[in-house]
Amino acid sequence: MEKPIVIYTDHIMNKTLCYNFAKGSNALMCHIKDFKEYEKTIATYGVLRGTYEIIRKVKNFYYMDHGYFNQSSRKFENKRTNVLDMNGYFRIVYNDFIHNGDGNYPDDRLNELDLNFVEQRKSGDEIILSEPSDAMKKIYNAYNWVEETKKLVKKYSDRKIIVHNKFSKIPLDKLLDHAWSFVSLQSTAGFKAMLNGIPAYFTLSSLKNINRIEEIENPKINYKIFNNLAYGQWTLKEIESGEAWDFMKNNM
């Protein structure tokens, strides 16, 4: 597998993840303003400050972002996301922005996370629609996602629909207390919902295998995907040491 050129920006999160990825994979780093080799494989963090524009131009890429479980602490306020620490997990995906849950990995990494699984709920009054961020709307051309997804859900359920995003006044944890299901384009919060016993549905084509909205009144949770997702996220230490890169080059 081709070793990537690690593209970094001046943003502290991007620089930190990129530096550690480059160290762990013994790869070259290149500032985003200097990169021109679009035929090369790249690695980078996030989709802002020009990184997405480069991702669109290259053939192969490794994408880094916050993990699925036990993420670093964040605070959402004033339309900004502030990362409070970097002690959590970060996902690394090859040629995509999120893992689709496929695989047949053991449960050892999942067990290390010490997650508290809640039994699947059998009742609930509301369906939560998780509105994509502006960046994801742009990437997936999903500017009308809320309206289109409302229409789709209403074809198969008459439960109350509540639209939520990361800047909503009511936190997601509180909404989940009364939820029947969780619907998003590709939000990792869907996996958090599943962890709390709430079936999650995704409209992104690569994630539709997890659950079908057509079956929203007959929900299920496939717990096997948690094993696979645990093998798609890594701590900063595991990225720096090369453990993450060794796994990826041998399994992707």
Per-residue H/E/C for 107-175: CHHHHHHCCCCCCCCCCCCEEEEECCCHHHHHHCCCCCHHHHHHHHHHCCCCCEEEEECCCCCCCHHHH
Host H or E run for residue 235: strand 233-235
29 near 45, Cβ under 8 Å?
no
Residue 196 DSSP class:
T
- Please check whether residue 119 lies inside any domain of the structure: no
For residue 35, being part of any structural domain is answered with yes
**What's the pLDDT score for residue 232?**
96
User: Is residue 81 located within the same domain as residue 10?
Assistant: yes
Q: What is the DSSP string of 8-25?
A: E-SSHHHHHHHHHHHHHH
Residue 118 placed within a domain: no
Q: Are residues 217 and 237 in the same domain?
A: no
Do residues 206 and 140 share a domain?
yes
Residue 251 and residue 244 in contact, taking contact as beta carbons nearer than 8 Å: no
Q: Tell whether 11 and 89 lie within a shared domain.
A: yes
Question: Which candidate, 195, 229, 236, places its Cα nearest to that of 93?
Answer: 229
Domains of the chain: total:
2
Q: Does residue 183 fall inside a structural domain? A: yes
Does residue 49 form part of some domain?
yes
Average pLDDT, the chain: 92
Look up tokens 């995907």; give the residue: 225
Q: Are 11 and 27 members of one domain?
A: yes
H-run or E-run covering 82? strand 80-83
**What does the pLDDT look like over 101-135, one tens digit per residue?**
999 999 999 999 999 999 998 999 999 999 999 99
- Using H for helix, E for strand and C for coil, what is the string for 87-104? CCEEEEEECCCCCCCCCC
94 and 133 in a single domain? The answer is no
Which residue type occupies 48? L
pLDDT at 250: 87
CB contact at 8 A, 44 and 55: yes
Backbone angles phi, psi at 72, to 5 degrees: -65, 150
Residue 60 is assigned to a structural domain of this protein: yes
Q: Are residues 142 and 211 in the same domain?
A: yes
Same domain, 51 and 67: yes
Closest to 210 measured CA to CA, from 182, 232, 231: 182
Q: Provide mean pLDDT across the span 194-208.
A: 93
Q: Output the pLDDT for position 43.
A: 98
User: For residue 83, what pLDDT is reported?
Assistant: 54
Residue 117, in any domain of the structure: no
Q: Does 120 fall in a domain? A: no
The single-letter code of the amino acid at 110 is: L
Q: Say if residue 213 is in the same domain as residue 235.
A: no
Q: Please write the tens of the pLDDT for every residue from 25-47.
A: 999 999 999 999 999 999 999 99
> What does the pLDDT average to over 172-186?
94
Domain region containing 146? 126-222
For residues 40 and 106, state if they share a domain: yes
